[in-house]
Amino acid sequence: MTLTLYTFDWLPEFPRGFVRDLRVRWGLEEIGRSYQVATVPAHPKSAEHRKLQPFTQVPVIQDGEQTLFESGAILVYLCEGTPLLPDDRKAEIWQWLFAALNTVELSVMHWVSMILAERVPEFFGPPPAADVKAHAKADMDTKLTALQQALGDKEWLAGDFSVADIAMVEVLRVVAAEEALDAHPHLAAYVERATSRPAFKKAMADHMQHWQAADAEQAKRSTG
C-alpha cells in the first residue's frame, strides 16, 4: 500500500522551502520509499484535517491503518531499522533528534518568529522591542555555539548520516536563510554537506513543484 503524505493545499511564498512536509519527503527519499501527496486546506481549517492532526498542522502520514503526525515521530516511524536509524546507534540518534527539535529549534523559532512579526505583522503579531529580539538572538547563538562545539570536525552528528541530521539541518536551514549562520562556519559547512545529498535535492524539488502546481490551480480557478 502506498504511503500518503499530507501537506497544505496552498501557501504564500514566504514559508515555501521550509514547510515541514519537506523533512518527511527527505527521509522518504533517503530510504527509497515511494509515496503520494494529499492536501488539507491551509485556510479555513477543516474538520477532516483536525481528525488527522488535532492542531491542524502538517505533515501527517497515513500508512495503511497507521496515521501519524509530528515530523520527528514520522521520521522515527519510517526510518527505524534502516541506515538512518539503525538499532546499534538508536540511543545516540534519538538524543540528537530530540536536541534538534526541542533545544535548537525552540530557540531558533523564538528568534525567527520575531523577524516574521516585523515583516508580516498581520500574520505573526506586533513586532517585538529591539532588546527582546536581541535577547532571543543571543540565546540562539549560545545554542548554535554549543552545537558547533559538539559537532567539531565530525561529518554527521551520530556516526553516519541519520534522521538526527535531517532534523538538525532543517532547523539550521532557517538560520542560514536569515544569514545568521556566518558566525558558525562548521555548522554552515554541515548544512552544505547535507543539502548536497541527492535525496535532499529531490525532496526539495518535489516540495517546490507542489507549490507551483498549487499556484497554477489557484490561477485556473480565478479565471474559470
pTM of the model: 0.97
Instruction: Give the separation between CA 86 and CA 104, rounded to whole angstroms.
Output: 23
Cell of 44: 479555513
**DSSP conformation letters of 22-33:** HHHHHHHHHHT-
How do 60-63 and 35-40 pair as beta strands? unpaired
- Give the chain's domains with CATH numbers: 3-83+199-214 (3.40.30.10), 87-197 (1.20.1050.10)
Contact between residue 23 and residue 75 where contact means Cβ atoms under 8 Å apart:
yes
3-state secondary structure 112-163: HHHHHHHHCHHHHCCCCCHHHHHHHHHHHHHHHHHHHHHHCCCCCCCCCCCH
Give the model confidence (pLDDT) of 11-65 as tens digits: 999 999 999 999 999 999 999 999 999 999 999 999 999 999 999 999 999 999 9
pLDDT computed for residue 223 by the predictor = 79
Question: Residue 69: helix, strand or coil by DSSP?
Answer: strand
Give the model confidence (pLDDT) of 156-167 as tens digits: 999 999 999 999
